[in-house]
Chains A and B, each alone.
Chain A
Amino acid sequence: MKKLCIGIIFLLFTGVLFGCNSSEEASGDDGGEVKLSLWYPEGETSKAYKEIIKEFNNEYEGEIEAEITFIPRGNKYAYEDKVSAGATSNTLPDLLALDGPSVANYAHSGIIQPIDGIVENQDDFVESIIQQGTYQDQLYTVGPTESTVALFYNKDKLKEAGIEPPKAGEEAWTWDEFYQAAKQLTNKEENTYGVNWTLDYGEWIIYFTGPMVWSNGGSFISEDGTTTDGYVNGPETVEALKYLKKFTEEGLVNLQPTPTEFEDGKAAMMLMGSWEWSKLQNYPDTEWGITYYPKSPEGKQVSPSGDWNWGISTSTQHKEEAATLLNYMMNKKNIVKISNVENKPAARHSSFEMMDKWKEEPLDVLKDQVLNSAHPRPTTPSYPVLTTKYGQAVQNIFLGGDVQEELDKVAEEVDKDLERKVQ
């Protein structure tokens, strides 16, 4: 009896302490079928991925079985936190989804591996997707969809004011034209604003303000990736942010907008992500159109790019099967499926051609930007520090902070981090 009791207690403890490990080891080597795990942030695409994985499992029955886990993302970095925790505890999945700008950081830390030569029809992907997935001349990730930011506008309000939005990329508004339009469309008595842009605390700020900097000939980091001093706080970047600051200073933008300010007709224009257009259809009272992201007076028109994509983790035991699954998810048909669910531009030229809605107004603008003016965000292992510090600096600038001073602080912090990472 005594032995039994002690035995039970012992079993309970070993169970508690090693429970997590034993379940991990059990998977993978039962009966020839290879098990693959995937992580993806929870969202509108969850359903499409569930379906694709189900079809994949049917097709490869007895050979490969994939299981996808959806992880809440929130509007900040909840998903990235989970990946970090996974890396620390060595519990990363075989395939993991990651946001475009994370590629360099993850590749540098060695948690994803190069996939050169294993992506089928690689040339079919749009250029910006390959650029985004490349770190130090090696391809690490590919993704099914692209994104961009464009200028959404309220048709009635622009007509009323007699403003004609540009119809082609070459005719995109210059900064000054955009500013004048915003000024004219702002009505302080009626509490309506010229432009709406979100002040999200996450990745959004560097993503939506980036084109202002690039179009002006500026950048965030030196080309060899060793320093940000003179780049993120360089004269072109400072000029771009001084320009944006005018909008907040003069009250052409609401600093604390409601989530549906544009939809409710309280803002005449909106600088917003390409994925937003489908939500606008829930507001039939507001007639809207899309035009190009404004460009700097001397520069060319630029738009941001980047989206979630897939990498193969270095901890996987089944690289070959993981590659099979990756290629399956990224085939022409499935990309159309994912693109349709998320209402995002497809990342394969051939998939793009299969969908008619992207050839017509108003979505043709988004397609044009993805194919012709897309610019990736900087690839650097210090990206987390860069995007966080830059985001906070821009917030401060919009609230009245000095542009040069704030950006100098960003350069200082990022350079300190770069120094530690490079050594």
Chain B
Amino acid sequence: MGNFSQLVYLVPLFPLIGFLINGLFWKRMPKSMGGIIGCVAILASFIISLGIFFEVKNPAFQVEPKVLFDFIKSGDFYIPFAFQVDALSSLFLLIITGIGFLIHVYSTSYMHHDEGMVKYFAYLNLFVFFMLLLVLGANYVVMFIGWEGVGLCSYLLIGFWFKNRDYTNAGKKAFIMNRIGDLGFLVGMLLIIFNFHTLSYHEFFDKLHNSQTIVPTSTYNWIAICLFIGAMGKSAQVPLYTWLPDAMAGPTPVSALIHAATMVTAGIYMIVRSNALYDLAPMALDLVATIGLITALLAATIALYQNDIKKVLAYSTVSQLGFMFLALGVGAYTTGVFHVMTHAFFKALLFLGAGSVIHAMGGEQDITRMGGLRKKLPVTYFTFLIGVLAISGFPFTSGFVSKDEILMAVYEHNKLYFYLAAFAAVLTAIYMFRLFMLVFMGGFRGTQEQEHHLHESPSAITIPLIILAVLSLVGGFVQLPHLFGGHDYLNEFLAGAKIPAYVHEDASTAMKEMTLFGGTVLGLLIIFIATRKLFAVKQFDGNYTGFRKVLANKWYVDELYDAVFVRPIEALSNFLDKFAEKKGIDGVVNGVGKTVKWGGDRLRLLQSGQVGFYIFIMVLGIVVLFTLSFFWIK
């Protein structure tokens, strides 16, 4: 065995170098060269990540943080820039660099006509760099660096076509909403420092196991909730989810990589990483489960009536992330990670497929103007179908295995939550099949010119689709239930990072699993027939009325936030600027100034040359000012 884990610093270093080359020489770099540099950098990271993965798989592997250099040191307050390789981080390394590489390759074709292609690859490499820091950090500060760094890249890439005002608005919204979450993360970190005097994972978790008597449960709950607020922002959970659908303004491969497969799962990574904390914070866990469930349901209902292909997938992502948090909330940490993995496969596949469709349609994203594309785009059609089956939970696809595991875990925990989650899963299948039928089946509803130009995408696009389709099909086998002759390999692997699995197999399990299995098959059959009848059509009206209009308008949450937060803050700012500042404080100061001048003028007439009077009145003025401000504060 080689010593790949000693070379872990290379994993983020390659994308950083790729970023620097493309970023510094973006003006002179030929487009194709920029693409090659971007891809090679990620491929190199992927190879090392593979080596690390196999090393970590070895039971003899020892987890130890590697300090690269001192980051912040002040007295006994010490935060090193340190990495930690264990099962959890190595799995995320594979997802990030593996899927990242496929999406980079895809982008070389997708972004080929864009004048900013080299800049695009620079940003994309920078994103991978920060994402790798996020999962490799050995303490919360390094995680936070990656955390805000990926947010920055997300901001830059959402507003990549910066001439469009709406796009830059979307980027800004994403950044600011994430900042709200980040404040929660920051307060969480400060609470940890306050109570445990460390931010290193292993020291913190060791202290958690030893100090239960000293720190009250409420403190654990507060820390866990604050960290979870951070996760709400990054992973688009209620109430901080509205930035993600807007983030679809970015290029489609970006949506696949950042807003589906990797960055938005950072919140799940954070909670799984902190599982020792969350196990001591039952209230926080309940909150995680509830928020996850609400998000899963809310986003699924909205996805039912969206007409933009990327918006459907965006709400679907929000909903699936909700499922993951639901799993974490019932203590099924490995299940959450498992769904992160399978979701990365099929959602990246679906987004890239959508990109291929948009590409073929000449930039069209409205599914009411598509239809019948299966003949013209056979590879896209077939791989997209696999993605739809996987996310809908068709038996033995990756999505089936992971979603079943979530539902089983929830069933043990809370029956009501189970039924609601199952309902959300049904909605998932409905909106996905609706999307599929509207795009690929029925008759073409676009313009003749669009129809004329329809063509299958080049191999740089189709090959990643095929690889992801295969992964979406077989990815579930790492954790197939024993009932179907499988084994929980993933749980065993993650046990190396001290992540507890949710063990639910007993005598009654087989019965429940068979019921779930049968229900899924039957349900999908009904949904298939129904959506085929409704949406595989020649004519389709995408205008909704009544309650469906409420859903199509996303429950008017954006409008609500605008009325409750944005406009009041603007009004307050205007009040402070126009009134408090100019009339209030400045008015007092100018008044004092004028009084001094006036008084000076008058006094000069009486006793010219007496400087003392000026000073006296100035001091008097200050006392007045001070007294005023003093009473204002109290």
Question: Is A bound to B?
Answer: no
